[in-house]
A and B are shown apart, each in its own frame.
Chain A
């Protein structure tokens, strides 16, 4: 194969948005060339065209041409009394177009992962917060604590790129300490032990995190195990705490657990430096909350009221709205999702999504759109909310972007 088909792509499929992934593209089929990223390879190659891919628009069980689908969707939209837009992941221009549409049709806009967003946001809306970013962590941290259980599986390259990279500007990587606090399974521990790096795995019930952090900051006598951790923490010069919010789903009070980690970081900063770096969800969560914030003033769950966007965390909760059938039409937008999307068959559903999307039931209308980063250019925000990356186009199968399609649908009244 010719090597000039090789190129870098920016990966849209988790919130690290790596841009150092090499792919080889032949006849619109892409293959990851970069090595040692098995999990990512399957995540990315999933978006190749398969036999089962929905390349054409579908009305329930029937294939229809694209324009027919747009017209049918427009009709459905103009008949609807109350539309709910559910974002399962799209780029900045996609979010812009959802909000444009919402402003012309007075609808709710929500992201499926809003509940996780509000857990982290809760901290800065109630008290102080010290944050850091991926590159800072890579180059400055001497202690990293991962809380929870699944963070390493959900962000496959966190260890390689951020926590235990090959090079670090200001710290000695050999002496960087990695602590796992929670119930990490053997697979996670294996990922963390990369290059035989010494790690501390402190197994606890996630509900006990607040209590343990309080103990660590106190002068109380501790068990031998904990005493060791206290020593590491006390000596640290730049400590980073990281977690993925969904790991705390099963806790009695997830908000309390997260806020205890943040409080711990705040108190560390009285004498030393420390910061939080939570990892966002993989459905372009940060892209949605950032773009919505600057356009509407709110990071999620808004409704256009004819004049401006208003926000109410419960009134604009799309999952509740759909469950209670307080809407007659849900428009789902999904361009990076690997998982099956749950639709409610009691209302009408328009699904604007990538060609390999799967659902529990067929939507009334399915309109295929491209993946940002594969079929069209776009921008997405990384988990640290401070870096946004440019996504490129590597395939030409004539798929429009979410923005193109939403703009077509917006023209309904004209």
Chain B
């Protein structure tokens, strides 16, 4: 089957194409060059009034695993479906099917769960296998597990730690490694309530800085494309921009990705001891090579926060709205906390958080280094992306909302002075090409020859930016038209994207003994094989290449 997208305005940043009118050809799930087509064209979509981009990639969205299910159960009232309207409340912890539908209708074709506990991997993958349409993947949590901390305490060699990291990626079928509040989740189990970057944990006597340094090195040595994905220490604490900067330094110039950086860009100036440190953080972001971030923009309204950071979630439970919450210590592996929350546009703190997120976006010089996220659902549901894009592309729209926020917020933010309006080119980079690049997805985020035919076609006649991005006219996944004029026309199932760096099998012996001695399951049961993924869990896997052979 050959499909031709005829005469659309194409955006393909990886190939340096920005708004050029051209045809795109698809065969057998792949994009191909015109001269490679065999046989006749079976179908032509007239794109003369369309804009064509690669399918969008959400590189940080909580869509599967224990904590999402806790939120679903806790907030049962939100699932009672009111005519399936896409109001935000129904989508903050949606079912797997709804997750897939809402993403694909917005033109998103790949989504990555950023807090996959290795011990919970079977659940997370089973859930994600039930999300239709999109490709998915997970970042395995490390850095709070007792096995790792014990290795560090015993001054194990970097090479042994690299084996462990590589083993975890293989066993949990993940594509990256994330660390959440490095060492802090573990310290909370020993009743420590805060852990700064250079503070030692009471039990293991290890600082977050050490953990960051060792893990960034492991990822670099193993050639894993995605840099260490870091949820820093002191999340949400006024004045935390200093620990954020220290975390950046802890990587010692190796690649590092800071997630939901909005929550990490807080100063403690002013009469309320809460201020924006977006300029300071952006300064670092702009000048530091090998540093990327996603923003985690907040949106006003009801949401639910879910995080591996049980230390900070337990601290935050007093702000729960509605007043219910849950925290959990998990299997000497990590933890989690689920706290529903309502961001209010009448609140000084929430208003300023909103402004800080936008400041970070607007101050970032290079769209290849900043990714568009709301840390779904922590800052707000992913369905608010079209609104967020409009905030970035339309200064007067942004200012209208800003002017309605409390005066105190306006006095504490430079937002109004930022005249920048993002272009389609920049949005396309931030939501497609840059995430594909940073995740090492060679066949995605691009319309080049032999790339996966994951494509979003937007309607140029839609003049409102939000409407434009919320309602693409066609979405193509793996070469099949799955959305047409907002309607699902074809159900298909995506793959699980993984990476499988090499490791010395010796680590399995050591870890096997550790499991037999301390765990309540066997190492063999902890590992998820490719066969299990396909035949029991129900998702095909795609193994992505490492950047280089293990160093």
Contact = CB atoms under 8 A, between A and B. Distances in A.
A237 interface: yes
Nearest to A10: B525
A139 interface: yes
Contacts of A308: 81, 84
Contact of B325 (A129, A133, A298): A129
B520 A298 contact: no
Contacts of A10: 525
A295 interface: yes
A390 B73 CA distance: 24
A170 to B, nearest CB: 7
Contacts of B521: 19, 135, 387, 389
B189 interface: yes
Contacts of B327: 129-131
A13 to B, nearest CB: 16
A213 to B, nearest CB: 20
B397 interface: no
Given A127-B323, A386-B330, A238 B189 contact: yes
B69 A293 contact: yes
Contacts of A19: 521-522, 524-525
Interface stretch (A57-65, A188-196, A267-275): A267-275
Contacts of A170: 146, 190, 203
Contacts of A378: 536
Given A273-B189, A386-B120, A293 B536 contact: no
Interface centre among B72, B191, B333, B521 (most CB of A within 10 A): B521
Nearest to B131: A294
A133 B126 CA distance: 20
B80 A390 contact: no
A275 B326 CA distance: 11
A132 interface: yes
Interface stretch (B91-99, B343-351, B359-367, B442-450): B91-99
Nearest to A376: B536
B518 A294 contact: no
Contacts of A275: 328-329
Contacts, number: 176
B126 A139 contact: no
Interface string B495-528: 0000000000000000000001111111011001
B169 interface: no
B123 A20 contact: no
Interface in A358-404: 377-379, 381, 384-390
A274 B76 CA distance: 26
Interface in A113-149: 121, 124-136, 138-140
A169 B126 CA distance: 30
A386 B119 contact: yes
A135 B122 CA distance: 17
B33 interface: no
A53 B324 CA distance: 48
B84 A307 contact: yes
Given A297-B94, A308-B84, A386-B331, A290 B518 contact: no
Nearest to B66: A386
Given A128-B324, A377-B536, A379-B537, A387 B191 contact: no
B80 A135 contact: no
Interface string B436-463: 0000000000000000000000000000
Interface of B: 64, 66, 68-70, 72-74, 76, 79-81, 84, 93-97, 117, 119-120, 122-123, 126-127, 130, 146, 188-191, 203, 314, 317, 320, 323-333, 516-522, 524-525, 528, 532, 535-538
Given A166-B517, A290-B123, 16 more contacts: A19-B524, A124-B324, A136-B329, A139-B518, A170-B203, A273-B191, A290-B69, A294-B126, A295-B95, A295-B96, A297-B79, A298-B76, A307-B84, A386-B66, A389-B122, A390-B122
14 contacts: A10-B525, A19-B525, A130-B314, A130-B328, A131-B328, A135-B519, A139-B518, A170-B203, A275-B328, A290-B123, A294-B127, A295-B130, A311-B79, A388-B123
